[in-house]
Amino acid sequence: MTLVLITEILKQVKERLKSVIPSPKYELIVEPIQVESVESGKVVILVAGQKQAQWLQEEFLQELIRAFQLVLGEPCEVEIKVAPSTELKSAGEEVSSSAVPLSEVKAIKKPRPLLNPRFTFENFVVGDSNQFSYAASRAVAENPGSAYNPLFIYADVGLGKTHLLHAIGHHVLSINPEMSVVYLTSEKFTADFIEKVRAGKMNEFRLRYRQCDLLLIDDIQFIAGKTETQMEFFHTFMSSVDSGKQIVITSDAPPYDLKGIESRLVSRFASGLIVDIGSPGIETRIAILQKKAELESVTLPEDVLTFIAENVTTNIRHLEGALIRVLAFCNFSGAKCTLEVARKVLADMLSVTKGKRLLTMEEIITAICEVFRVPKNVLLSKDRRKKVAEARMLAMYIAREQTNLTLAQIGEELGARDHSTVSHGIMKSAILLDEDPYFKQLYQMIIRKLG
Ligand code: ADP
Ligand code: MG
C-alpha cells in the first residue's frame, strides 16, 4: 500500500479514536502513533517508546483494531512496534502531524512545524464555496503580518480549514525558510500551557508562542470554558499582533457565535478579517475527487468518481473518506475498481441519504422516543443511563443524516448540548451501528417509521 494511502487511513483511524478515547490520553498515547505497514490483514504500528507501546497494548488495543477494521472494511490484526529512538518524536515534544512520513521527520533539523505535506495551496481545489477563504489565506501567506490580522476562518467540519491553515504555513516557509511558524490546535495549546505551568516553565512557553512570526491556531472553539488558557492566549494574541506577527485562527463557528469564550477574546478574533467556507457544489466535489485520485496516482473510472460525488454531499472529509474506502478495499482485496464495487463498499454509508426529503428534528425525536420507549423530557434531560444515552446518540446520528442542521443546532434541539457532544455522539453511533446488531435493528426500525 502506498505511503499516502496509509497516511489517509491513519488519519481516519485517529479521527475515530479521538471520539472514543478521552483527552489527554488520546493526545499523549494515540495521536503520536505512526503506521509502518498495512499488508495482508495486518497493520504494524510504530510508537516512540516502550511505555507508550505498553499503554496502547493494555488500554487501547481493542479500540485500535476496531478502528482499523472499520476504516479498512476488512478484519485485521494490529501489531505495535517501538521505533528506533531517532525516528519518532515522543508525545508533546513538537507539534505533531501524523501525516508526515518518517523519512521527512528524520530529515528536519531545526524544529519546524510538522505540516501535512499534502495540505498545500496547489492541492486545494478552489470553487464557489471556498474562493474567498482561499484568496484571503493566500493574501496572508504572501504578506504575513500586514494583510489581515488575525485572519479568522470558520466552517463546519471537513470543509478545508486545517488544509488552508497548513497551506499558509507551507507558503510562508517556502518564501522565507527562516520564519518561525507554529501550527497547533487549541487543545494542544491548552495541554502545553497546563504542562508548562506545572513544570514552572512559563517563560519557555511564552517565548515559543509570542515570538513566532506566524501562529496558526486550529479549532479555537476547544478553548471554550478554559479560563486560564484563554487569558494566556489573550496575552499571546496581543503581544503577537502588536509586534506585527501574523495570527490565523480557525473555528467551527464565527467569533460571535462561540460560546464559553471571553468577550474580549471574541472581539479580538473579529478585529481582522473573518471568512467562511461553505459546502462545495457537485462540480467542486468531482474536481476534489479527481485531484485526490491524481495525488494517489490512481485513475478511477469516471462513473465511480461521479457516483461518489453525487452521493456524498456532507463534507469533503466524507468525500475523501468514501474514496479512500473504495481504494483501500480494492487494494486490500485485489478487486477491480468498478461502479459495482464502489456501490457495495459504500452501501451502508449511502443507503439512507439518497433521494429522501429532509426530516424535522421533531419527527426524529418522536420516532426515537417511541422505538426506545423513552419519554421526550428524559431524552432531552441529563439522564446518562445507557438506554437513554444511546437513544440520544442515535437521534444525533439520524439528525445529521436526514436534516440540514449543523452540529450546534442538533445539540440545541436535543437538550442544549454542545456541538462536540453531538460530534462524539454521532461517531459512537456509527461504531455501534457497525458492531451491535441490536442497535442497528433499532436504527432500521426508526428509519422505517420515518418513512
Ligand atoms: P476541517 O479542518 O475544516 O475539518 P480539513 O482541512 O481537515 O477540514 O479537510 C478535510 C479533508 O478535505 C482534507 O483531507 C483536505 O485536504 C480535504 N479538502 C478540504 N477542502 C479541500 C479543497 N478545496 N480541495 C482539496 N481538498 C480539500
Ligand atoms: Mg481541522
Question: What is the distance between the alpha carbons of residues 214 and 95, in angstroms, rounded to a whole number?
Answer: 14
| In contact, 249 and 256? CB cutoff 8 Å | no
117: which DSSP letter? T
Ligand 2 geometric centre to CA of 294 (Å): 22
Of the ranges 6-15, 179-188, 339-348, the best mean pLDDT one = 179-188
Confidence at 344, pLDDT banded by 50, 70, 90: confident
Atom 6 of ligand 1, residue of closest alpha carbon:
160
**Which atom from ligand 1 is nearest to the alpha carbon of 284?**
23
Predicted local confidence at residue 112, as pLDDT: 65
| In contact, 279 and 159? CB cutoff 8 Å | yes
- Lowest-confidence range among 24-28, 103-107, 280-284, 417-421? 103-107
Ligand 2 geometric centre to CA of 279 (Å): 15
Looking at residue 105, its amino acid is V
154: which residues sit within 8 A by CB, 6+ positions away?
Answer: 161, 250, 251, 252, 253, 254, 274, 275, 276, 277
Q: 370-406, pLDDT tens digit by residue?
A: 999 999 999 999 999 999 999 999 999 999 888 878 8
Ligand 1 geometric centre to CA of 363 (Å): 32
**Which atom from ligand 1 is nearest to the alpha carbon of 166?**
6
**Which atom from ligand 1 is nearest to the alpha carbon of 218?**
2
Quick one: angle between helices 419-435 and 3-20, nearest 10?
Answer: 110
Ligand 2 geometric centre to CA of 160 (Å): 7
Burial state string for 12-31 with b = 16 or more CB within 10 A and e = fewer than 16: bbbbbbbbbbeebebbebbb
Question: What is the distance between the alpha carbons of residues 422 and 103, in angstroms, rounded to a whole number?
Answer: 38
Q: 178-229, pLDDT tens digit by residue?
A: 999 999 999 999 999 999 999 999 999 998 998 899 999 999 999 999 999 9
| 309 SS3 class | helix
| Closest of 295, 291, 220, 298 to residue 258, by C-alpha | 220
Identify the residues whose C-beta falls under 6 Å from ligand 1: 119, 123-125, 130, 155, 157-163, 288, 291, 316-317, 320
Region 86-98: what's the mean pLDDT?
Answer: 38
Write the DSSP string, 184-231.
Answer: EEHHHHHHHHHHHHHTT-HHHHHHHHHS-SEEEEE-GGGGTT-HHHHH
| In contact, 248 and 279? CB cutoff 8 Å | no
Top mutation candidate among 163, 248, 276 for ligand 1, by most atoms within 8 Å of CB: 163
Question: What is the distance between the alpha carbons of residues 201 and 262, in angstroms, rounded to a whole number?
Answer: 25
Atom 26 of ligand 1, residue of closest alpha carbon:
124
CA distances from 213 to 112, 136, 396 (A): 12, 18, 41
User: How big is the chain, counted in residues?
Assistant: 451
pTM of the shown model: 0.64
